[in-house]
Amino acid sequence: MRNFHFAGRSTVHAQNAMVATSHPEAALAAIDVMRAGGTAVDAAVAACALLGVIEPQSTGIGGDCFALIQPKGEGKIVAYNGSGRAPMAATAEWYLERKIHSVPLTSAHAVSIPGAIDAWDTILRDHGKMGLDSLLQPAIKAAEEGYVVAPRIAFDWKNQFEKLKNGTNTGRYLLPHGKPAVAGDVIRQPELGKTLRAIARNGRDAFYSGEIAADMVETLRGIGGLHTLEDFAAHSTEATSPIGTVYKGHDVWQCPPNGPGITMLVMLNILSRFDLTKFKPLSIERFHLEAEAARIAYMMREQYIGDPAQVHVDVAGILAREFAEEHIKNIRMDRLLDLPNVAPPMNPSTVYITVVDKDRNVCSFINSIAHSFGSAIVSNKTGILLQNRAGGFRIQPGHPNCIAPGKRPLHTIIPSLATKNGRAVMPFGVMGGQYQPVGQSHVLTNILDYGCDVQEAIDMPRGLHYEGVYQLEDSVPAEIVEGLKKIGHKTTSVVAPLGGGQAIWIDWEKGTLTGGSDPRKDGCALGY
C-alpha cells in the first residue's frame, strides 16, 4: 500500500469491467462502449480510434496494431499481427543502387502499409459485438468538433516542432498556427474526421481501396515512394498463436515475430536464473542485472529476428533454457559483459490499451505510428498521418530484417498477457519504442518479485541500457547512478520519461479488477 503522505496514484478497483489507457477521454469512451453492451475488444477499438485523433504523436489509422485476446479469460489466446508490409517494389538492391544504406525516417521509404484498420476490423469480426460504424463515432466527433490538448501530448508536440515544420503536409495539419500546440489548445482535424466517416460508413475497404488509398499512394509517390494501390489492396492481418515462457509460476505471453515480444521473454528467462528478491527493487544490483539481461536479449533480437514469412526464426531454440548460456554464466555483479552494441533506431511513441469486460473477455491491445509523429508525412487530402515503421528495416542483404518486397519489419510494439493455470491474471503493456521489452520485464518483476501492486509497479523509476549507455530517469536515486558508474556503466539522464504503461490485475476469487495507468502519460484506469 502506498504512503498517502506522498504524491501518487491509487489503484483503481471495480467488479464489472476495467480499462486503462494513456488518455482519460479514451478510457471514458471504452467504459461507455462496455456500458452499452460492447465487449472488451469493442471498447479497445473505440478507445484506440479516439487516441489516434487526440494523441497524434503516438498513434493513428496510419499505423500498425498488435493484440492478444483471451475470450472469457480462460483457455485459448489468439495473437493478432496487424503490421504492415513493405511495398512490392522495395528491394535491397533498389536502395543500394542509389547508395541508400539505411531508410531515411522522414521519407516515403519509411512508410510501410498501415495495418491498424484491417486489424481492428479482423479483431472485431472475431470478438466484437459492434462495428466500426458505431465505434469510430467518438474519434469522428473529436476530429470534427475539436479536442483539448493534454499536457504530455503538448510536451511531445513541442519536442517534435522541427520535425513537423519540415514534414510533408504536417505544417498544414498539425501546426495550424505555425507553432506547436500547448496544453489547453483546442485542435480540429476536419479532413481526418471526413476520412473516419468514410471508414465508418464503408468499412475497412474504404481505407485500402478507393479515394483514401489513392490519396495515400499519390502522396507517397509524389515524394519518391514505391507504393502502389495493389500494395494497399493486398494487405491482411494474421491471426496466430502466442509464444510464451514461465516466470515465477506464471505463463507470460507475447505475439510471435515479426513482433519483438520474444525479446522480453528472453529477458525473463535470463532474470529467472537470479534471485532478484535478494536485492531491493531500487538497487544497483537490480538495475545492473536488468541491463545485462537486456543487452543479451536485444543482441539476440538483432541477430535472429525478422518476418517469419520470409526468414527462418527459431523461436523454440531462442526460448530454450540453454539459449545464450555462454553469456548468462559470465554475468557478474562487479562488471559488464563484453558484448557488441546494437543500435536500431529509437521510436518511443505508442499507445497501449488494456480492457477486461464483465464477461472477463481479456484484451491486450497496442497501436503505434512508430516514431513520434511517425514519418511526418500526412496524406494530401485525408489527414492521415503515416507511420515510419519501415524505418526499422535494415538495408543489408542476408540480415533477417533486411527490407524485401511485401516483408514486415521487425517491430517494437508488444502487448503482453500473464496467465496462471490457464486463466488470465494480468493483461499489461509498456509503451516506448525500444524500451518496451525492458519496461514489461521491469513492471512484471516489480509485481512478482517485489510484491508491488499494478500502480506501484508502473510508477517505479526506470532505466534502459541502449547503444552502450544506461539511460536513466531522473527519479533513479543518485547513489544507484553512482554505483552503476563504478561497475562500468556509462549513464545519462533521459530527456523524456521512459515509455508509459497500463495493467489490469484480475482477482478471480474476489471477482474484482484492479487497474493502473502510467503517470508518465496523461491517462488513467477506469472501472465500473
Q: What is the residue-wise DSSP string for 343-403?
A: -PPP----EEEEEE-TT--EEEEEEE-SSTTTTSEE-TTT-PEEP-GGGG-B--TTSTTB-
Integer-rounded Cα radius of gyration of the chain? 22
Confidence of residue 2 (pLDDT cuts 50, 70, 90): confident
Please compute the mean of the pLDDT values over residues 57-83 and round it to a whole number.
Answer: 97
DSSP characters over 88-104:
TT--HHHHHHTT--B--
pLDDT digits (tens, 9 = 90+) for 147-165: 999 999 999 999 999 999 9
**Are 435 and 464 contacting, i.e. CB atoms less than 8 angstroms apart?**
yes
Computed over every residue of the chain, the mean pLDDT equals: 96
Output the pLDDT for position 348: 63
Question: Which stretches of 188-284 are assigned E, i.e. beta strand?
Answer: 238-240, 243-247, 250-254
Spacing of C-alpha 382 from chain mean position: 24
Contact (Cβ atoms closer than 8 angstroms) between residue 33 and residue 57 = no
Query: What was the pLDDT predicted at 176?
Result: 86
* Cα–Cα distance, 317 to 332 (Å, whole number): 25
DSSP string, 288-322: HHHHHHHHHHHHHHHHH-S-TTTS---HHHHTSTT
Half-sphere exposure of 404 (CA within 13 A, CB side): 16
Cell of 1: 500500500
Which position has the grid cell 549507455? Answer: 469
pLDDT per residue as tens digits for the range 220-238? 999 999 999 999 999 999 9
pLDDT of residue 350: 85
Q: Spell out the domain ranges in the chain.
A: 12-239+371-390, 241-347+414-527
The answer as to CATH 3.60.20.40 being correct for domain 241-347+414-527 is: yes
Dist. CA 67–CA 191, nearest whole Å = 28
Give the 3-state secondary structure of residue 64: strand
Give the mean pLDDT of 352-364: 98
Confidence of residue 409 (pLDDT cuts 50, 70, 90): very high
Residues near 274 by beta carbon (within 8 Å), at least 6 away in sequence: 289, 331
Q: 10 Å Cβ neighbour count for 279?
A: 18
- 491-493 and 469-472 strand pairing: parallel
Residue 121: how many other CB atoms lie within 10 Å: 22
CA quadruple 258, 470, 473, 157: dihedral sign? negative
The answer to whether 430 and 415 are in contact (CB under 8 A) is no
Which has the minimum average pLDDT: 4-13, 88-97, 261-270, 457-466? 4-13
Strands (E) in 105-195, as ranges, are 147-148, 186-187
Cβ-count burial 126-137 (b if 16+ within 10 Å, e if not): ebbebebeebbb
Looking at residue 341, its pLDDT comes to 77
% pLDDT > 90, the chain: 94
What's the whole-number mean pLDDT along residues 334-351? 79
Confidence class of residue 4 from pLDDT cuts 50, 70 and 90? Answer: confident
Nearest of 374, 383, 379, 371 to residue 168 by alpha carbon: 379
H or E stretch covering 201: helix 190-202
The pLDDT-based confidence of 347 (bands split at 50, 70, 90) is low
For the segment 112-132, the average pLDDT, to the nearest whole number, is 98
**What are the Cα distances from residue 72, in Å, to 19, 42, 81, 241?**
16, 15, 21, 17
CA dist 442 and 438 (Å) reads 6
Write out the H or E segment, with its range, that includes residue 429.
Answer: strand 423-430
In this prediction, residue 344 has a pLDDT band, given cuts at 50, 70 and 90, of low
Say what the pLDDT of residue 28 is.
Answer: 98
Residue 126 — pLDDT band, cuts 50, 70, 90?
Answer: very high
Quick one: which of 359, 360, 352 has its CA closest to 419? 360
CB 157 within 8 A of CB 57: yes
Model confidence over 98-111: pLDDT tens digits? 999 999 999 999 99
Q: Which residues carry out catalysis?
A: 350
What is the reported pLDDT for 129? Answer: 98
**Is the confidence at residue 343, as pLDDT, over 80?**
no
pLDDT value, residue 342: 74
Q: Is the peptide bond before 258 cis (omega within 30 degrees of 0)?
A: yes
- Whole-prediction pTM value? 0.97
pLDDT single digits (tens) 292-302? 999 999 999 99
How much is the average pLDDT of 320-337?
94
Mean per-residue pLDDT, 459-473: 94
Q: Does the structure show a pLDDT above 70 at 241? A: yes
Largest Cα span, the chain = 63
157/174 Cα distance (integer angstroms): 9
Identify the band that residue 346 occupies on the pLDDT scale cut at 50, 70 and 90: low
Query: pLDDT (tens digit, 9 = 90+) per residue, 183-211?
Result: 999 999 999 999 999 999 999 999 999 99
Q: How far apart are CA 31 and CA 40, in angstroms?
A: 9
Distance CA 322, CA 311 (A): 23
Averaged pLDDT, 260-286: 97
Helix axis angle, 261-271 to 284-304, nearest 10°: 140
How many whole angstroms from its chain centre is CA 420? 24
Using CA atoms, how far apart are residues 268 and 256, in angstroms rounded to an integer? 16
Distance CA 37, CA 43 (A): 10
pLDDT at 474 over 70: yes
In sequence order, what are the residues at sequence separation of 6 or more whose Cβ sits closer than 8 angstroms to the Cβ of residue 239? 78, 79, 80, 81, 122, 126
Cell of residue 80, nine digits: 493478432
Collapsed DSSP state (helix, strand, coil) of residue 338: coil
What is the per-residue pLDDT for 473? 97
pLDDT reading at 345 higher than 70: no
pLDDT grade for 64, boundaries at 50, 70 and 90: very high
pLDDT, tens digit (0-9, with 9 covering 90-100), for 421-456? 999 999 999 998 899 999 999 999 999 999 999 999
Q: What is the mean pLDDT of residues 359-386?
A: 97
